[in-house]
């Protein structure tokens, strides 16, 4: 009986904290100025995307929700890249690089895919633990939205369109 009460209390606390944690993810903060290494060996600095809308997705090749989200990311890239959207998918530190490369090739990912072997980038974004975790960054470099778990495609499209329809972009 006592164990059941403890479990109930834990569940209630988790339910109460979920909106608080979600709201913390949605607070504006400046995107960490990280230099990433892509699976192609390219060096990217997140600050170089200033002036563009940027979607940063933390993912893993063994995450079913991450794999299910790939078609949405590809769709967003194809629909909005020419209008100024950039997407960077950052593989979690525990994900073997050869798995990331193989998945990226198999899925024909058109956007940047970076490795985070030392966990530096996940820590810079608030110690990301769950995948997928997606951040939308404004052209000014502010993280304006954070989502733990799969994002809703239509909602994300509306959020992206707020930035690409109001900001001039250079190709």
Checking if the pLDDT of 155 tops 70, the result is: yes
Euclidean distance between CA atoms 12 and 98, whole angstroms: 41
- Mean pLDDT for 10-35 is 57
Question: Residue 22 falls within a domain, yes or no?
Answer: no
Q: Sheet harboring 133-137: ordered strands across?
A: 29-30, 142-148, 133-137, 53-59, 85-91, 112-115, 35-38, 43-45
Are the CB atoms for 60 and 115 separated by under 8 Å? no
Q: Which residue has the higher pLDDT, 8 or 16?
A: 8
Q: How do beta strands 85-91 and 142-148 pair?
A: unpaired
Question: Residue 159 falls within a domain, yes or no?
Answer: yes
> Which residue is it, tokens 């940063």?
56
What mean pLDDT is reported for the chain? Answer: 85
pLDDT of residue 33: 86
Checking if the pLDDT of 17 tops 60, the result is: no
Checking if the pLDDT of 4 tops 70, the result is: no
Q: Which SS3 state, helix, strand or coil, does residue 36 take?
A: strand
Residue 157's domain spans which residues? 27-164
Q: Enumerate residues 6+ apart whose C-beta is below 8 A from 139.
A: 50, 51, 52, 53, 84, 163, 167, 169
Confidence of residue 6 (pLDDT cuts 50, 70, 90): low
What percentage of residues in the chain have a pLDDT greater than 90?
71
CATH of residue 159's domain is 3.40.30.10
Question: Residue 89 falls within a domain, yes or no?
Answer: yes
pLDDT digits (tens, 9 = 90+) for 112-136: 999 999 999 999 998 999 999 999 9
Total domain count for the chain? Answer: 1
Question: Residue 3 falls within a domain, yes or no?
Answer: no
- Mean pLDDT for 82-101 is 96
Note the pTM of the prediction, 2 decimals.
0.81
Euclidean distance between CA atoms 107 and 146, whole angstroms: 24
pLDDT of residue 71: 97
Checking if the pLDDT of 10 tops 90, the result is: no
Q: Enumerate residues 6+ apart whose C-beta is below 8 A from 108.
A: none
């Amino acid at each position: 009986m006592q164990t059941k009460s403890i479990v109930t209390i834990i569940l209630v606390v988790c339910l109460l904290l979920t909106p608080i944690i979600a709201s913390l993810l949605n607070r504006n903060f400046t995107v960490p100025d990280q230099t990433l290494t892509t699976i192609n060996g390219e060096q990217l600095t997140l600050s170089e995307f200033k002036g563009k809308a940027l979607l940063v997705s933390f993912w893993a090749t063994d995450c079913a929700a991450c794999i299910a989200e790939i078609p949405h990311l590809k769709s967003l890239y194809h629909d909005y890249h020419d209008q100024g959207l950039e997407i960077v998918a950052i593989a979690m530190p525990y994900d073997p690089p050869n798995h990331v490369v193989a998945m990226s090739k198999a899925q024909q990912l058109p956007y940047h895919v970076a490795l985070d072997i030392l966990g530096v980038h996940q820590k810079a974004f608030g110690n990301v633990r769950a995948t997928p975790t997606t951040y939308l960054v404004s052209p000014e470099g502010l993280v304006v939205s954070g989502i733990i778990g799969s994002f809703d495609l239509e909602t994300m499209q509306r959020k992206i369109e707020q930035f690409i329809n109001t900001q001039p972009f250079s190709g």
